[in-house]
Structure 1
Amino acid sequence: MQFGLFSVGDISTDPVTGTTLTAAERLQAMARVATHAEEAGFDVYALGEHHNPPFLSSSTATILAYLAARTSRLVLSTSTTLITTNDPVTIAENFATLQNLAGDRVDLMLGRGNTPAVYPWFGKDIEASIALAVENYELLRRLWDEDTVSWSGRFRTPLVGFTATPRPLHGKPPGVWHGSVSTPQIAEQAARYGDGFFVNNLFMPVGHFARTVAFYRQRFAWHGHGSEAEAIVGVGGGAYVHRNSQDAYRGYEPYFRANRANRGARLDDAVRTTGLTVGSPQQVIDKIMSFPAQFGPYHRQLFGLDFGGVPESSLHEQLDLFGSEVLPVLRREMPQPPEGTAWAAFPAVTGFQEAGGVR
């Protein structure tokens, strides 16, 4: 099982200090956090694509390429690549380029995004988002799988004898996750191709996401990619860890309240009902250990630590706690999913040293 961080790349004012980082400061802080995550024993760093303030992660492949040069084992992924508003040719070439630079430690997560305003900025209609996701992914697969592609569809100009360059490393395209909050068509798409299915586990009750995962597992098996247990599931969730629960709640409360997505919500209710995990290392372990009862044994757990202006100093403290006290226990005690043939498309994680949870 893989453990990692996922970020949305927001620039948010720290509600405690009033500090707002510049884009350059935030990007460099993200790079320092990613390199520390590798040192602390995490396996994955994933970054979401956004094109609207307060986010700065409009060019995820560029940022991940920078991180590739600063790390050696970390799997570099996205927590959203917009399959609806990006040209599939651009996705195919950007991530094959990243793969050729970083080696076999690249995958990506495709999604429709959660910002309606983005669609007209790229000449698309949000009412066609499902159809865009389906058609664009069909083309993306062909661009990676076939050396020469002739294609026509509804949403872009035809291609005649086109070759996307560079070709995927060793002829093996990056592994693909499909992310969705509530759309069964996207879970079906992931199942049809034998790809991974990721639930961000944010803001809504855990049971809501569990139902979507169960549907994906059923369809994965129906399409003949393996058993339901072998389906490739990833789970996210916000997190804030401190040495004791009282300081964890006290420290995270202002960042929780300042996040517009949490407007009107109570922190204790969110921790009780959603995938948000706040508390001591043992409380974090207990919460994550409860997820397999909802989702079944799964392949990847990502933690969102930097949402809403949490200062970099706190992130580094949390990474040290995760590395020394949380990850070693989770690696030892979390149920391990059977690794079916479909999982072979994703980067393997090697080199973890059990002692202290440090690479």
Structure 2
Amino acid sequence: MQFGIFTVGDVTTDPTTGTAPTEAERIRATVAIARKAEEAGLDVFATGEHHNPPFVPSSPTTLLGYIAGQTERIILSTSTTLITTNDPVKIAEDFSVLQHLSGGRTDVMLGRGNTGPVYPWFGQDIRQAVPLTVEHYGLLRRLWREEVVDWEGKLRSALQGFTLVPRPLDDIPPFVWHGSIRTPEVAELAAYFGDGFFANHIFWPTSHTQSMVRMYRRRFAHYGHGAPEQAIVGLGGQVFMRRNSQEAVDEFRPYFDNAPVYGHGPSLEDFTTLTPLTVGSPAQVIERTLGFRDYTGDYQRQLFLVDHAGLPLKTVLEQLDLLGEEVVPVLRKEFAVGRPADVPPAPTHESLLRARRSEEKPPADEEEGPEAR
């Protein structure tokens, strides 16, 4: 099972000091956070994509390409690549380059985006969000898998004789996760192609996440990719920790109350009751996270949000220390208990390459032996 963090890249005033980082400081801090995540023993660093204030990660592959040069092991992903407003050709090119730069430590999470004004900035209409998602992704798959692409759709100009350069590393496309909070069509798309489904499990009650994951698993099996339990599932999560739970609540409360994504809404107590947000001790984070399996089944990837709402970099790095030293080692051990052997691990470039080579290898009785020479 993979554990990691994702960032939304917000530039937010620290409510306890009244100061905010510059955009440059926030971007550099994100690089420091990614490096610390690798140092702490986490498996994945993921960044969102946003084109509106107060967020800065408008060019995720540029950021991840730089981080690739600063790291050696950690998987670099997006927590949203906007399949609706980005051109599929550019997505294919950018992620192929990132694969080569990172040595295959790359996957991608696609999402449709729900910020209405962003769509016209890129010449699109939010009312076409689902059709754009389906058409663009169909093209993206072909660009990564076919040497020469002739394509015609309804929402983008046609392609004739197009060849992607560079080709995907080892001719293995990045593994695709489809991320969604509330859109069942996204879960259906992931199931149809046998891709991963990432339920961004930070705003809605557990019953909603359970419903979305169950639907994806059922449709994954319907399309013949395996049993429902073999579907590839990822979950978001959101934590703030101190060794003493009351200290965690007291320290995090002003950040929660003023956060750009949920501030000035439900109380911290209500939000932690109704959603998976966990504010407390490492033991409480472990207990809450292990409970996710009760309603989603065994899954492959768990990402935590730890660096938003104006939290200082020093505090975020302390959160990563707690994750790496006290939380993730226990989660690895406990999630392995009772995990059925037929539940696959999260796909990686290496595992996809091994699988392809295994498929290409002829059966033993077809291989030439000494007696045939």
TM-score, normalised via structure 2 length: 0.91
Distance in 2 separating the partners of 1:325 and 1:342: 23
Distance in 2 separating the partners of 1:341 and 1:229: 9
Q: Which runs of 4+ in 1 moved over 6 A?
A: none
Distance in 2 separating the partners of 1:226 and 1:161: 35
Q: CA deviation at 1:126?
A: 0.6
The one-letter code matched in structure 2 to 1:307 is: H
The one-letter code matched in structure 1 to 2:272 is: V
Distance in 1 separating the partners of 2:317 and 2:348: 31
Q: Secondary structure at the match of 1:56?
A: coil
Matches within 5 A, 1:69-148: 69-148=69-148
Aligned match of 2:205: 205
Residues 118-139 of structure 1 deviation map (CA, whole Å, 9 limit, x = unaligned): 0000110111100000000000
Unaligned runs of 5+ in 2: 352-373
Distance in 2 separating the partners of 1:253 and 1:149: 53
Distance in 2 separating the partners of 1:268 and 1:332: 30
Distance in 2 separating the partners of 1:115 and 1:129: 11
Distance in 2 separating the partners of 1:310 and 1:229: 37
Aligned pair in 2 of structure 1 residues 113, 106: CA closer, same or farther (>3 Å)?
same
Unaligned runs of 5+ in 1: 349-359
| Bigger-Rg structure (1/2) | 2
Query: What's the Cα RMSD here?
Result: 1.5
Distance in 2 separating the partners of 1:269 and 1:26: 30
Say if 2:301 and 2:346, in contact at 8 Å, map to a contact too.
no
Aligned match of 1:354: none
The one-letter code matched in structure 1 to 2:231 is: A
The one-letter code matched in structure 1 to 2:119 is: Y
Which structure ranks higher in relative contact order (CA pairs < 8 Å, sequence separation ≥ 6)?
Answer: 1
Aligned match of 1:356: none
Distance in 1 separating the partners of 2:153 and 2:71: 39
Distance in 1 separating the partners of 2:158 and 2:28: 40
Aligned pair in 2 of structure 1 residues 89, 338: CA closer, same or farther (>3 Å)?
farther
Distance in 2 separating the partners of 1:340 and 1:329: 20
Q: Secondary structure at the match of 2:51?
A: coil
Say if 2:12 and 2:260, in contact at 8 Å, map to a contact too.
no
TM-score, normalised via structure 1 length: 0.94
Q: Secondary structure at the match of 1:45?
A: strand
Aligned match of 1:288: 289
Aligned match of 1:238: 238
The one-letter code matched in structure 2 to 1:251 is: E
Equivalent pairs counted in the alignment come to: 349
The one-letter code matched in structure 1 to 2:276 is: G
Distance in 2 separating the partners of 1:89 and 1:282: 45
Say if 1:107 and 1:347, in contact at 8 Å, map to a contact too.
no
Aligned match of 1:28: 28
Distance in 1 separating the partners of 2:6 and 2:347: 22
Distance in 2 separating the partners of 1:9 and 1:343: 25
Say if 1:175 and 1:347, in contact at 8 Å, map to a contact too.
no
Residues 259-311 of structure 1 deviation map (CA, whole Å, 9 limit, x = unaligned): 13323211112112211111101000001011000111100000000111111
